[in-house]
Structure 1
Amino acid sequence: MDLQVISRDGEPEYAVLPWAQYQALLRAAGISRGPESGAAIHTEAEHEPSSPAADFPSLSQLGALREAKGLEVAQLARAVGISPSYLDLIESGDREPDAAIRRSLAWELGVAGWRGEA
């Protein structure tokens, strides 16, 4: 597991791990949706199993994921092969990227991916 521990005053305060591993931990704990979605946390026994697309971050989180990786818009856009202005449009929700761009964004950000999710 790729884990980063952030300490304050010599004491561990936060544990940071890749999104996919976080999602796997939630699933292993029987939690289908985490607090990052703005929804209440539910156990699997409380509702129908979620679709596979629910395991992936929403495109509305793209900007936050990029910033968490310490990437500027231009850096990520260049790595993915699109213009910074197009990436801005995707992040703002004004444009919907095709599957190839979704896969490239997922690869560059180290997330499982966006398979046809709106």
Structure 2
Amino acid sequence: MNVQVIMREGQPEYAVLPWLEYQALLQAAGNRREAVPQVKNETRPALASLSELSALRQSRAISLEDLARSAGISPHYLAMIEKGERVAEGPIARALAQSLGVAGWEDGQ
């Protein structure tokens, strides 16, 4: 099974796995209906691009270390994302958006 664990403050918070594996787990647990992800209406302002991450973080007076910790990644990795040396995708992009209170970034915009 291919599972990614997202940590927050040193503790596991989320487990992310491929959709088909998730469906197989549901079936094994006796749930015969296919689960459909619920989409919430976002009322938070959208951010145009992940390239604006550093400016947004600084405008909210959040330290690089605090944002990295809340997103479950290392400060070094967050610095690489802010510099454009790495691309935040999927769970990391969602964790950053949630921590900053912005909508989007689900597709690594």
TM-score of the aligned structures, taking structure 2 as reference length: 0.56
- Counterpart of 1:70 in structure 2 is 61
Q: Distance in 1 between matches of 2:67 and 2:108?
A: 20
Unaligned runs of 5+ in 1: 1-17, 21-54
Post-superposition Cα deviations, 1:57-113, rounded to whole Å, max 9, x if no partner, equal 201100011011111100100111100000000000000112101000000101012
- Evaluate the alpha carbon distance shift between residue 19 and residue 68 of structure 1 in structure 2; reply closer, same or farther with a 3 A threshold: farther
Question: Taking every aligned residue pair, what percent have the same amino acid on both sides?
Answer: 45
User: 1:80 is matched by which residue type in structure 2?
Assistant: A
Higher helix share: 1
Q: Is the 8 A contact 2:94 2:105 kept in 1?
A: yes
User: 2:51 is matched by which residue type in structure 1?
Assistant: S
- Counterpart of 1:58 in structure 2 is 49
* 1:56 Cα deviation from its structure 2 partner: 3.7
Q: Is the 8 A contact 2:64 2:79 kept in 1?
A: yes
Unaligned runs of 5+ in 2: 1-42
* 1:117 Cα deviation from its structure 2 partner: 3.7
- Counterpart of 2:82 in structure 1 is 91
1:105 paired to 2:105: no
Q: Report the RMSD for the aligned CA atoms in angstroms.
A: 1.8
Count of residue pairs the alignment pairs up: 67
Q: Distance in 2 between matches of 1:71 and 1:85?
A: 15
Q: Distance in 1 between matches of 2:93 and 2:86?
A: 12
